[in-house]
Each structure stands twice: as structure tokens, then as C-alpha cells.
């Protein structure tokens, strides 16, 4: 059963998630002047290196093992750091897989809080950070609870499977239903990878 669940989760690394990841990476490049590359970073999820002067691009290195949903949540979190002006010249922001050190904890907590507002499309946060929010607020209360969001993810994946098996895509492609299903799957996968996007409780925050 666990293997089947994992297989389902892996299938969720869908084109939708991958294209959303690419879209947000492009947003980082265009709006925040961040050049992203991927490399093996044992113990670390990402490094954001800021140059000495304004107007020069920042460099982002993301761990190659991070899946699309994790990358999306990282991009939102890093955009929040930048909106909060944590990217000082010659300062590297390290997104570690381990527990944050006490000196960094406040910065990451503030970034989590703003990232949450940006992700759900709170107008003030979006304007502040120049970030495209999700605005799928209908899902938010369901995703706040770990068992419910895991169940919801499985249900949405089954629905997507049915959608293609029944060839409903021929009828529904481009409609509100198809767009909503795609968006819901993406939001659910990202929140499963980064529960801090819904949870304010530290109990649900495994990340650094």
C-alpha cells in the first residue's frame, strides 16, 4: 500500500507541476533578477548568493534532488526573503535541510509568514513582493490538516486519472473544470511538500 501511495505521489510530478515550476523560475529571473541552476547540495536545499552591487543578478543554486513541488515552495520562500530585504550585498541565504540556527530563525519565520500570504494571493503581499499568488482559497482550510490534505491529494490524483481514462479531456480541455483540477493538484502537491504554506503551527513544520 505504501509503495502504491509513493507511486501515486511520484505520478503527481506532473507536467502541470513542472510547468508551474518553470513559470515561477522565470518570474524569479524576470522580476527579481535571480539566475537559477541545479546542483547536488548534500544537506542543503538551496543557496541564494547576493552580489556586492545593485543591478547585478543574484545566483540561486537549488539541490538537484528537490522535486518540482519543493522547488515551487522554495521560490516563494526566497521571493519572500527578498521582499523582506534579507538579500543584503555579500550575504548568502542558506535554505538548510537541518534545523535553522537561532540567528537565522527569525528571518526564516518572517519569510515563511510572508510566503504564506504571497502563495495564497493576499493582495498586499502580492503587491509588496511582485509575486503571482494562487488565490485557490477554497482549498486552504482543507489543506491545513495533514491527513485531510494527504487524502485530498489522493482523491485529486484519482480524479485526474479518471479524467484521462474516460477521455474527458476531449470535452473539458480548456474549461474551468480542467483548469481547477490542474490548479488544485498543483496547490495540494506544493502544500504537501511545504506545510508551512498553510500551517502557522510549528508542529507541522518539518523544514529548516
Partner 1 sequence: MRLQDRERVSRAIRTLKGDRSLDSLVDRIYAITEGSVMLDRATLQRVATGQTRVTRAIDSPEDCVRLYFALMIVGCEQELTLAEIVGEGRTMLAGFVGEPLATLVFADLRRTLPKLTDRRTLREYLEEGLRVWLPK
Strand segments (E) across the chain: 34-39, 44-49, 58-63, 92-96
Dist. CA 155–CA 28, nearest whole Å: 32
Smallest separation, CB 56 to partner 1 (Å): 6
Nearer to partner 1, 36 or 157 (CB): 36
Asked if residues 78 and 46 have their Cβ atoms less than 8 Å apart, the reply is yes
User: Hey, which residues does 61 pair with through a beta bridge?
Assistant: 37, 47
Smallest separation, CB 91 to partner 1 (Å): 6
Smallest separation, CB 41 to partner 1 (Å): 5
Strand order in the sheet with 92-96: 34-39, 58-63, 44-49, 92-96
Dist. CA 13–CA 70, nearest whole Å: 11
Nearer to partner 1, 53 or 174 (CB): 53
Nearer to partner 1, 58 or 153 (CB): 58
Dist. CA 125–CA 113, nearest whole Å: 10
Dihedral of alpha carbons 61, 65, 69, 73, sign: negative
Q: How many residues bind partner 1 (CB under 8 A)?
A: 23
Out of 6, 10, 19, 92, the only residue in the binding site for partner 1 (CB under 8 A) is 92
List the interface residues with partner 1, window 10-69 (CB under 8 A).
39-44, 47, 49-52, 56-59, 61
Nearer to partner 1, 51 or 121 (CB): 51
Asked if residues 44 and 63 have their Cβ atoms less than 8 Å apart, the reply is yes
Nearer to partner 1, 4 or 40 (CB): 40
Nearer to partner 1, 8 or 47 (CB): 47
Region binding partner 1 by CB under 8 A among candidate stretches 5-13, 17-25, 84-92, 130-138: 84-92
List the interface residues with partner 1, window 93-122 (CB under 8 A).
94, 96, 98, 101
136 three-state secondary structure: coil
Smallest separation, CB 132 to partner 1 (Å): 26
Q: Residue 44, exposed/middle/buried by CB under 10 A (0-12, 13-18, 19+)?
A: middle
Residues that bind partner 1 (CB under 8 A): 39-44, 47, 49-52, 56-59, 61, 90-92, 94, 96, 98, 101
Amino acid at each position: 500500500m505504501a509503495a502504491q501511495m509513493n507511486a501515486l505521489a511520484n505520478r503527481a510530478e506532473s507536467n502541470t507541476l513542472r510547468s508551474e515550476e518553470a513559470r515561477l523560475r522565470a518570474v524569479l529571473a524576470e522580476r527579481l533578477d535571480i539566475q537559477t541552476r541545479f546542483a547536488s547540495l548534500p544537506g542543503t536545499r538551496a543557496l541564494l548568493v547576493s552580489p556586492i552591487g545593485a543591478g547585478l543578478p543574484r545566483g540561486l543554486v537549488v539541490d538537484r534532488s528537490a522535486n518540482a513541488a519543493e522547488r515551487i515552495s522554495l521560490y516563494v520562500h526566497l521571493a519572500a526573503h527578498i521582499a523582506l530585504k534579507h538579500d543584503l550585498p555579500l550575504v548568502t541565504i542558506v535554505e538548510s535541510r537541518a534545523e535553522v540556527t537561532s540567528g537565522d530563525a527569525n528571518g526564516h519565520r518572517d519569510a515563511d509568514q510572508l510566503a504564506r500570504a504571497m502563495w495564497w494571493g493576499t493582495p498586499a503581499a502580492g503587491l509588496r513582493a511582485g509575486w503571482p499568488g494562487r488565490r485557490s482559497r477554497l482549498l486552504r482550510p482543507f489543506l491545513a490538516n495533514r491527513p485531510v490534505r494527504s487524502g485530498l491529494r489522493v482523491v485529486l490524483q484519482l480524479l485526474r486519472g479518471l479524467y484521462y481514462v474516460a477521455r474527458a479531456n476531449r470535452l473539458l480541455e480548456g474549461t474551468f473544470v480542467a483548469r481547477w483540477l490542474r490548479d488544485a493538484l498543483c496547490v495540494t502537491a506544493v502544500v504537501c511538500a511545504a506545510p508551512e504554506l498553510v500551517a502557522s503551527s510549528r508542529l507541522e513544520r518539518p523544514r529548516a
